[in-house]
Amino acid sequence: MNSTWIILGATSSMARAFARAVAAEGSAVLLAGRDQAELAALAGDCVLRGARLAEALEFDARKPKGFAALIERMAEEEGELNAAVFVGSMPEQAAIDADPALIDGVVTDSHTGPARFLQMLAPLIEERGGGTVVGVGSVAGDRGRIGNYVYGSAKAGFATYLSGLRNRLTRAGGHVVTVKPGFVDTAMTWGLPGMFLVASPEAVAADILKAVRKKRNVIYTPFFWRYIMLIIRHVPEFIFKKLSI
Amino acid sequence: MLWKEAEYHGWGRALSAKGEIARPERVAALKALMKDGLVPAVGMRRSYGDAGLNDGGRVIEMSRLDRMLSFDARTGILDVEAGARIAGIAAAFAPKGWLPAVMPGTGFATVGGCIAQDVHGKNHHHAGSFCEHVVSLTLMNATGVHEVSPKDTPDLFRATAGGLGQTGVILSARLKLLAARGDVMIVTERRVEAWDEFLALLDASAATYSVGWIDATARGDALGRGILEEGETGSGLVPKRDKYRKVPFNAPHFALSGPVVRAFNNAYYRRVPESGRTIVKPISDFFFPLDKIHDWNRLYGKRGFHQFQCVVPLGSAPALRDMLEDIANSGLASPLAVLKRMGPGRAGYLSFPMEGYTLAVDFPNRAEARELIRKLEARTVAADGRLYFAKDSLARGEDMRAMYPELPEWQAEAAKADPKGELLTDLVRRLKLRSA
């Protein structure tokens, strides 16, 4: 398969599992993130699992000056170009309450940074007449909750952006998959109280890859989160505002 | 959160511990966790007893530091992080014609765990132990981060191979892989009618991989009956294995009671035709037969189980037969009973293997079984045999220490690497390995 995936935020465990899954299919993987030592280790791993090529690249959602170099690097690869966005940050709500300036960083990491990158990539996908963008949002974006509404609002914005991008790329033969994971067993959720039905990063990666193949638009992973969120979205606001879930 | 408060147990579920666990996903995070002192590392906790437990203390779970870093096809040397699973390496490399040189009975074992127990596989009589194929390893201990190899730092290497994690945290290792003919196994299975025939066949076997399953419930003339499996790697096509199954709950205690086990073993024995057969299997089915059922340890119920494993010198074969007779007469054995001939290969001061025969049997965690295991342990002592740290949960410290004559050399290295004793685990404390 002559396809290339750029993976933004490739050091997260979900991204790592996804990179390994596409590597095993023989794709080229461009692993973009901040921790170059970690990315180099993952690149070695991807090659040994079957990637046609694996490279570690610098990506920081807050440093958009670096985006152009990534787009150029992608353009060098022939065939289908794809992108998977796993970036985002979630400081504790209490920390944000103490320092509201943190909101800018959350929105940049989870929404505007990756959106700006995808906006630069979109013409290339249109030019090639195909390719898939995977955007990882969160169930937290489906409704603002007291525990993480800043993060949730950034993910909601990103989901709306992805919906529009899907509308645009579909016309050129491209596709956008919006992924909304529930609780995933990662460093971010390790030891947090109240976790239930936690999915492994590998299971989430397999779900994403299946959604890419089937050209699904919006997926929840694991699937039952669709129903959990359906209920949560339909709780009337006059009740919801008193809940702390 | 970095540290999670949890109760966790060894694979046998008979022993457990309470304490904090961290699971770093980056090397930098691992090093940050240990900036104020060393913490014992654990892998997938496939050791049956308490080798991976630290009650009241902390452990670092290495399973997310699991990347294969590089491979040199000219030398066959793979550089891999300590948390990588053996089955993952096998799955990635078998299609390219390489396999880990030694594979233990579960593919969930990590590279770090395989080193810390110097594990053996079904080819021990030819290939030796796991650490004999470790070219070098990266170790972090009280004196810093070190490259450890049999050539340049032989004492520290011997103390780390089979060293129960007491010389430091293993970060990564260079493993010399073995050239394989392909990613399927050609397996010959034959019925063996009794004990003497079993030993004769194991002695005569020229196969690269061999292992014996024993019906530990058979008595009298049938004592020691079982199935000898001999395997070679090959190329070809086999159907993909079924999806993993899970054991969703703890089984009731009668699930593995005497009559059930006898009936199961009888059917299992007769599954192989009287004239034997040769079949083709995916490699994982041959090497890791039980991995198909996730959490099979729950089949023993919530009380858990013990595995007894000993090795005795070739000349002590009659003593091993006596042990099997005790087991068969007790009616306590489970279907899992394995007999194998071992070669002399071992790489560390505390490595388990010795040239001879090894017997491994699972028992439910009940008072009668614990009593029987103590009797078997006494017989092992009398036969100049040895018990296995990866399996043990009941042995007496003085017995165990006497089985490992190089213990003082190991203690000296462990004391240098971890002078404050921060790496002690429940196993090391229970058997007083570092203090006595």
How far is residue B132's CA from residue A206's CA, in Å, rounded to a whole number? 37
Tokens 């080193």 locate to B115
pLDDT at A197 over 90: no
The three-class DSSP label of residue B323 is helix
Is A37 in the B-facing interface, judged by CB distances under 8 Å? Answer: yes
A114-146 pLDDT per residue, tens: 999 999 999 999 999 999 999 999 999 999 999
Q: Cα separation of B58 and A52, whole Å? A: 41
Helix (H, G, I), strand (E, B) or coil at B329: helix
Q: How is B341-387 classified by DSSP, letter by letter? A: EE-S---STT----SEEEEEEEEES-HHHHHHHHHHHHHHHHTT-EE
Asked if residue A222 has a cis previous peptide bond (ω within 30° of 0), the answer is yes
**Which residue from A19, A130, A40 is spatially nearest to A81, judged by alpha carbons?**
A130
Residue A42: its chain B contacts at CB < 8 A?
67
Interchain contact, B2 vs A44, CB within 8 Å: no
How far is the C-alpha of B153 from the C-alpha of B25, rounded, in Å? 29
Q: Predicted confidence band at A44 (pLDDT cuts at 50, 70, 90)?
A: very high
pLDDT means over runs of 10, chain B (436 residues):
94 96 96 95 97 98 98 97 97 94 96 98 96 98 97 98 98 97 92 96 95 94 95 85 73 80 90 94 90 85 93 97 96 91 97 97 94 96 97 95 97 98 98 91
Measured in angstroms, the CA of B18 and the nearest CA of chain A are apart by 14
Question: ipTM score of the complex?
Answer: 0.91
Of the candidates B4, B28, B68, the beta carbon closest to that of A191 is on B4
Write the single-letter amino acid at B212.
G
pLDDT digits (tens, 9 = 90+) for A145-191: 998 899 999 999 999 999 999 999 999 999 999 999 999 999 988 98
Taking CB atoms and an 8 Å cutoff, what residues of chain A touch B67? 41-42, 44-45
Residue of B41, B224, B248 whose CA lies nearest to B139? B41
User: What is the fold, at CATH topology level, of the domain defined by B184-396?
Assistant: Alpha-Beta Plaits (3.30.70)
Domain that holds residue A205: 3-240
**Domain holding A97: CATH number?**
3.40.50.720
Domains in chain A, number: 1
Residue B252 confidence (pLDDT): 79
Phi-psi map region of B432: left, alpha, beta (phi>0 left; psi -120 to 50 alpha): left
Nearest to A190 among B1, B27, B78 (CB): B1
Res A1: pLDDT: 55
- Look at residue A204 and tell me whether its pLDDT is greater than 70: yes
pLDDT in tens, B30-60: 999 999 999 999 999 999 999 999 999 999 9
The CATH architecture that domain B68-180 belongs to is: 2-Layer Sandwich (3.30)
Is any Cβ of chain B less than 8 angstroms from the Cβ of A193?
Answer: no
Query: Given B25, B69, B78, which is nearest A187 (Cβ)?
Result: B25
Residues of B in contact with A41 (CB under 8 A): 27, 67, 69, 81
For residue B144, CA distances in Å to B38, B141, B340, B410 come to 11, 5, 40, 19
Asked if the Cβ–Cβ distance from A187 to B81 is below 8 Å, we say no
H or E, element range at B337: strand B337-342
Contact B68 A37 (CB under 8 A): no
The pLDDT, as a whole number, for residue A114 is 98
Cross-strand pairs, B189: B229, B277
Sheet containing B134-141, strands listed edge to edge, beginning at the edge strand earlier in sequence: B68-72, B77-81, B169-176, B134-141, B144-148
DSSP states of chain A? --EEEEEETTTSHHHHHHHHHHHHTT-EEEEEES-HHHHHHHHHHHHHTT-SEEEEEE--TT-GGGHHHHHHHHHTS-SEEEEEE-------HHHHHH-TTHHHHHHIIIIIHHHHHHHHHHHHHHHHT--EEEEE--GGGGS--TTTHHHHHHHHHHHHHHHHHHHHHHTTT-EEEEEEE-SB-STTTTT-TT--SPBPHHHHHHHHHHHHHTT-SEEEESTTHHHHHHHHHHS-HHHHTT---
Chain B CB within 8 Å of residue A191 CB: yes
Instruction: Give residues with Cβ within 8 angstroms of B267, minimum separation 6.
Output: none
Count Cα atoms within 13 angstroms, Cβ side, for B256: 24
Do residues A30 and A73 lie in contact, with contact meaning Cβ atoms separated by under 8 Å? Answer: yes
Q: Which of residues 23-52 of B touch A (CB under 8 A)?
A: 23-29
DSSP-derived secondary structure letter, B41: E
Provide the shortest C-alpha distance from residue B166 to chain A (in Å): 26
Please list every residue in chain A whose beta carbon sits closer than 8 Å to the beta carbon of residue B171: none
pLDDT confidence of residue B251: 81
Q: Is residue A245 part of a domain?
A: no
- Partners of B60 in beta bridges: B22, B41
Q: Residue B93: its chain A contacts at CB < 8 A?
A: 48
Burial call B65-95: b when 16+ CB within 10 Å, e when fewer: bbbbbbbeeeebbbbbbbbbbbbbbbbbbbe
Q: Which residue of A has its CA nearest to B92?
A: A49
pLDDT bucket at A229, cuts 50 / 70 / 90: very high
DSSP 8-state code for residue B239:
P
Task: Tell me the longest C-alpha to C-alpha distance in chain A.
Answer: 54
Please judge whether A191 and B68 are an interchain contact, meaning their C-beta atoms are less than 8 angstroms apart: no
A188 touches chain B (CB under 8 A): no
B148: which 2 tokens? 């450890």
Boundaries of every domain in chain B: 68-180, 184-396
Phi-psi region of B356 (alpha: psi -120 to 50; beta: other; left: phi over 0): left
B23 and A190 within 8 Å at the Cβ level: the answer is yes
Going by C-alpha positions, the residue among A163, A161, A165, A140 that lies closest to residue A150 is A140
Counted residue by residue, chain B has a size of: 436
* Cα→Cα distances A3→A24, A87, A101, B128, Å: 12, 22, 40, 43
- Look at residue B256 and give its three-state secondary structure: helix
Q: Cβ atoms within 10 A of the Cβ of A213, count?
A: 10
Supply the Cα-derived Rg of chain B in whole angstroms.
21
SS3 B206: coil
**Is B338:B224 a contact under the CB 8 Å cutoff?**
no
- The tokens describing B397, both together, are 């410290």
Contacts of A126 (CB under 8 A, 6+ apart): A169, A172, A174
Where does the pLDDT of residue A244 fall: very low under 50, low under 70, confident under 90, or very high at 90 and above? confident
Res B120: pLDDT: 97
* Residues counted in chain A: 245
Residue type, B11: W
Supply B426's token pair: 């429940």
**Cβ pair B12, B365 in contact under 8 A:** yes
Q: Does the CB of A202 have a partner CB in chain B at under 8 Å?
A: no
Burial class of residue A245 (count of CB atoms within 10 Å of its CB; 0-12, 13-18, 19+): exposed
- Match 């990866």 to its residue by tokens: B390
Residue A202, CA distances (Å) to A15, A18, A135, A185, B60 in order: 9, 7, 17, 10, 21
What is the per-residue pLDDT for A9? 96
What local confidence, expressed as pLDDT, does residue B242 receive? Answer: 60
Residue B59: φ, ψ to 5° = -135, 155
CA distance A221 to B138: 37
Q: How distant is the Cα of A142 from the closest Cα of chain B, in angstroms?
A: 25
Q: Which two tokens stand for residue A155?
A: 């993910």
Nearest CA in chain B to A41: B69
Q: What is the pLDDT of residue B241?
A: 64
Instruction: Give the integer Cα–Cα distance in Å for B433 and B436.
Output: 6
Q: Give the span between the Cα atoms of A182 and A136, in whole angstroms.
A: 11
| Dihedral sign (CA A198, A201, A205, A206) | negative
Same fold for the pair B68-180 and B184-396: no
